[in-house]
Structure 1
Amino acid sequence: MHIPQSDSPATPATAVPGRTPPVIRLLVLATFVVILNETIMINAIPRLMEALKITEQTAQWLSTAFMLTMAAVIPITGWFLQRVSTRTAYATAMGLFLAGTALAGVAPSFEVLLGARIVQASGTAVMMPLLMTTLMQVVPERDRGRVMGTLSLAISVAPAMGPTVSGVILQFGSWRLLFAVVFPIAAVITWFGLKQLKNVGEAKYSTVDWLSVVTAAAGFGGLVYGLSRFEGGDTGTAVAIVVAGLAAIVVFVLRQLSLQKRDVPLLDLRTLRYRTYTVALILMSVAFMAMLGSMILLPLYLQNVRGLSALQTGLLVMPGGLAMGLLGPTIGRLFDRFGGRVLVVPGAIGITLALTGFTQITMTMPIWQLLGLHALLMVSLAATFTPVFTLGLGAVPSPLYSHASSILSTLQQVAAAIGTALVVTVMSARSETLASAGVTKVLADLDGMRLAFIIGAALSVIVVVTALLLPARAAAADDVEEDEAETQPMVPA
């Protein structure tokens, strides 16, 4: 059956002013479900250790491998999304995710379960750039902030809600129930999406450079894996893997610069020539590190220091995650009306204030105060992410949208790994030092968490500085029409 490609970037037929295009609603819903699975296994680790007779370090691989696969696959999606139609990309992403979910639900061993998680992650890696690229193609500039606000529900809220959702589901059955619940929901979304989804834009044929594929996977995947090894205290091995990953990334970058001369890069780095986009990348990366760092530290504090259960912890952090998601569309409408600076600057300051507040945690800090600080952090991140995504992607010409979204998504994964490794390493080092000096474990852990939050608060100052460098609107810093004219000879039509 032929699907007409009526929703082209030039004439976005589905884009009715003031309304979110149906294609975006479908992709946001699908992306929310697949990204939710990135963190859904966190609360299931004790059950998995008992059921599969594995250690905690081994069980952690189910989350690490998911993030590792995302980092390795996403750099390739810039080329892939230009090569295939919207429906093909969607079918590929959801097909992989469904296959991985079904296999995980019946996995007889840890090895099979790990493989299933890798298949799941491969599908998720395609969905994130697909959503952002399609949004930039079909949504008029005047509505992008509002629609990008709904996108934040999938990209930012889903990973924050994963532990809460899994905590509730695990009250009713084994770890297999996590996949049994997700599969039919994802299957219905897939069926409905394939029934309703129209192709956006036109696919362009191009060959793939396998050296780029290998160096991208080895570089970004190796970097994330090396950073994850810091959590286990294996510093020497972790440093060696990180260095090897960085070396592979250098080879990858040099290869792309060479391929750009022939207009056939796997990941087009010319997006970095646009100042607003580059500043947005830096801000987003540091802010994502702050978010993931707090997502790791706060549950550890609530469970290890305050003695709460995983479910209680999940319920306590849920209000902040919900506030972040519900405010997304409102933040987007404010962006469309007033521009980015009036949101990003206060949001950046709010992130710093929240993380500074967390540096004062004690054995008896009131729960309402913790809830307030967490809510402030989530709302501030919501006020930051939506404008930053919109400004950053809006600053590049349309032929580079798929590459720009792939770079942004890749850096999200790398930032998440850096944030996690940083807080865990700082916390563990401080805790071990105090414990060796005779301080009780709980107090040593508490002081380690305080120091980790101090590092996060210090990093958040970078968010404030970069926020001040962003324009109110992308066109204020980058004349998009002029930029497109300048890059047209380099980017094939």
Structure 2
Amino acid sequence: METHIQVKNPKTMALILMLGAFIGLFGETALNMALTNIMDEFSVFPATAQWLTTGYLLVLAILVPVSALLMKWFTTRQLVIGGLAISLAGALLAAFSPTFGILLAGRLIQAIGTGLLLPVMLSVVLLIFPVSRRGVVMGLMGLVITTAPAVGPTLSGVIITSLGWPYIFWMSAIFYVFLIIFASLKIVNVSEITKPRIDVLSILFSTAGFGGLIFALSTMAEHSFTSVYVWAPLLVGLIALLLFGIRQTRMSQPMISLSVFKYPMFTLGTLIMFLSILIILATAILLPLYLKGALLFSAAAAGLILLPGNAVNVILSPIVGSLFDKWGPRYFVIIGFVFVLLGNLGFLAFLSASTPAWQVLVSFAVMFVGLTMVTMPSQTNGLNQLPRTLYADGSAAMNTLNQVAGAAGTAVAITLFTAGQAAYGASAPGATEAEVLTSGVKYAFYFTTAISVIGLICSLFMRSSAAETSRQGAAPATDAATSRS
């Protein structure tokens, strides 16, 4: 049986999609290093400025679930070129922005384009490459997913110091123009257009559910959990997600087939990806605040301190991808989470108002050795267990939860950072500003350390998806095929 769709230039298609997704995911954290500059320029508070990150993630979390439906209504070319064009428009608007509101609007428009590209990238790669070659390709894609948000502060730090923060968007815009040209020439249609009935209630439940959840998490940075601004959207979000799930199980053509979660390695892989992205995004917003605010490094210097960790990811991702095809996921994921835990323990042990830069560099690099070993194997192993008919649903479900994880990581990190500062300031009234800030960052790293422990426990249950499918038999695939007919 054919396991993939034959296309003329699969590597070129994958490269265009990965570069488009890279720029979009880079945009998730690129402004983290510029938040202090933007706060000064537009006279906004940290809790307001952080919406440049959480708002971006909010749009992604709302749009990505709908992508499974869009991929059945529009061709691959339409979605890819459309996503790149929308991203270009958002980048240009943000680059020109004279006010914070227009800057935020540009960010949100750019997020719409990224929300179209991410699930299409994952689904197309699964369709055009055979299972035997997916390890290497998914390793490169894992490089995109983890490196782009992590390298955002590093690259943007250099750009901000030498040119100014608007050039983050100008450079993104240039890349989008070239990608649109290449996509017009090289992208071919591989998705099956079935044009299922558009269920408005499913879209409304999905939007209210994921939107309410991320809005509540983001608002926690400004208000306590007992505030109506937190618990009300959280309650609405949870109820909407429950109604969304119930409705999907009762529809003959669901917007997202939740039968993907019948596959245990897909469910476990999605959970591990969720925890990994949560750690990546929390760290991506905490370390720039610490390096610039407590250790008083410039944006460029702070970015360069984080560069070795990103370099480790670039070097290891293709290696892990090629070895995955031979060895499977289990040992990579277990050993990876050990490294992630060691990196977080390093932050807890070393962070102070006078920590040498090399200690931050080493802890960050160790953590990213682990994250590189965790993300690609868990994602690839999970998706490999799905039949072709569920690729779009699986990629939409996994990408949606990744965006929720990113928003949760950013919002919870800022909330704990703020709480830690307040607690330390109250207990030590004579503390310096650097000491108070460091205490807040360190307080938030207890959270990422706890997530690392949970991830390590989850990794012990990892099995090869091929072995798991053989053990369970073909029942899930039959169920899935039935649910799609």
Deviation at 1:451, TM superposition (A): 3.3
Corresponding residue for residue 309 of structure 2: 320
The answer to whether the aligner puts 1:183 opposite 2:177 as a matched pair is no
The CA deviation string for residues 40-73 of structure 1, in whole angstroms up to 9 with x for no partner, is: 2223334434544544443332222211111111
Alignment of 1:162-173 (within 5 A): 162-173=152-163
- Aligned counterpart in structure 1 of residue 208 of structure 2, from 215, 218, 233: 218
For the residue of structure 2 that corresponds to 1:218, the secondary structure is helix
* Partner of residue 490, structure 1: 483
CA distance 1:45–1:448, shift in 2 (3 Å): closer
Question: Does residue 149 of structure 2 align to residue 155 of structure 1?
Answer: no
The answer as to whether partners of 2:33 and 2:288 remain within 8 angstroms in 1 is no
Distance 1:139 1:88, change over 3 A: same
- Letter of the 1:82 counterpart: K
Rounded Cα–Cα distance in structure 2 between residues aligned with 1:425 and 1:50? 21
Give the fraction of aligned pairs with identical amino acids, expressed as a percent: 30
Q: Which residue of 1 aligns with 2:469?
A: 478
Question: In 1, distance between residues paired with 2:287 and 2:52?
Answer: 21
2:199 aligned partner: 209
Structure 2 residue 444 is matched with structure 1 residue 452: yes
Give the letter for the 1:248 counterpart.
A
| 1:380 paired to 2:380 | no
Q: Structure 2: how far apart are the matches of 1:369 and 1:50?
A: 30
Contact 1:9 1:200 in 2 (8 A): no
User: Paired residue for 1:5?
Assistant: none
Letter in 1 for 2:282: G
Shift in alpha-carbon separation, 1:431–1:180, aligned structure 2, 3 A: closer
Cα deviation, residue 195, structure 1:
0.5
Q: Does 1:255 align with 2:247?
A: yes
Q: Determine if the alignment matches structure 1 residue 12 to structure 2 residue 11.
A: no
Partner of 2:270: 281
Which residue of structure 1 lines up, in the alignment, with residue 103 of structure 2?
113
Measured at CA, do residues 295 and 101 of structure 1 come closer, stay the same or move farther in structure 2, by a change above 3 Å? Answer: closer
1:4 paired residue number: none
Q: How does 1:252-401 map to 2 (within 5 A)?
A: 252-259=244-251, 262=252, 264-361=253-350, 362-401=352-391
Match of 2:69 in 1: 79
2:92 to 72, 96, 102: 102
Change (3 A) 1:273 1:50: same
Cα drift, residue 14 of structure 1:
4.6
Evaluate the alpha carbon distance shift between residue 213 and residue 322 of structure 1 in structure 2; reply closer, same or farther with a 3 A threshold. same
Distance across 1 between alignment mates of 2:343 and 2:356: 15
2:455 corresponds in structure 1 to: 463
Q: Aligned partners of 1:345 and 1:148: how far apart in 2? A: 19
- Name the TM-score, length of structure 1 as normaliser: 0.91
Report the count of equivalent residues: 477
Once the two structures are superposed, what CA deviation does each residue of 1:348-382 show, in whole Å capped at 9, x if it has no partner?
A: 11111111121112334332222111101111100
Indicate how the Cα distance of structure 1 residues 244 and 345 shifts in structure 2: closer, same or farther if over 3 A, else same.
same
Higher alpha-carbon deviation: 314-323 or 364-373: 364-373
- In structure 2, C-alpha distance between the alignment counterparts of 1:342 and 1:49, rounded to whole Å: 44
Distance of 1:276 and 1:340 partners within structure 2: 10
| Structure 2: gaps spanning 5 or more residues | none
| TM-score scaled by length of structure 2 | 0.93
- Aligned partner letter, 1:282: L
The Cα offsets for residues 207-264 of structure 1, whole Å up to 9 and x where unpaired, read as 21111111211110121111111122444122332222112211211221222xx2x1
Residues of 2 paired with 1:141 and 1:365: CA distance?
Answer: 46
Distance 2:164 2:424 in 1: 38
C-alpha RMSD of the superposition: 2.1
Distance change >3 Å, CA 454–CA 333, structure 1 → 2:
same
* Corresponding residue for residue 137 of structure 1: 127
Q: Distance in 2 between matches of 1:418 and 1:10?
A: 35
Cα distance in 2 between the residues matched to 1:325 and 1:143: 19
SS across alignment from 1:38 = helix
Q: Which amino acid counterpart does residue 246 of structure 2 have in structure 1? A: L
The alpha-carbon deviation at position 104 of structure 1 amounts to 2.2
**Matches of 1:89 and 1:254, distance apart in 2:** 29
SS in 2 for 1:490: helix
Q: What residue identity is the alignment partner of 1:241?
A: P
Larger deviation: 285-294 or 42-51? 42-51
The 10-residue stretch of structure 1 (114-123 or 331-340) with the greater mean CA deviation from structure 2? 114-123
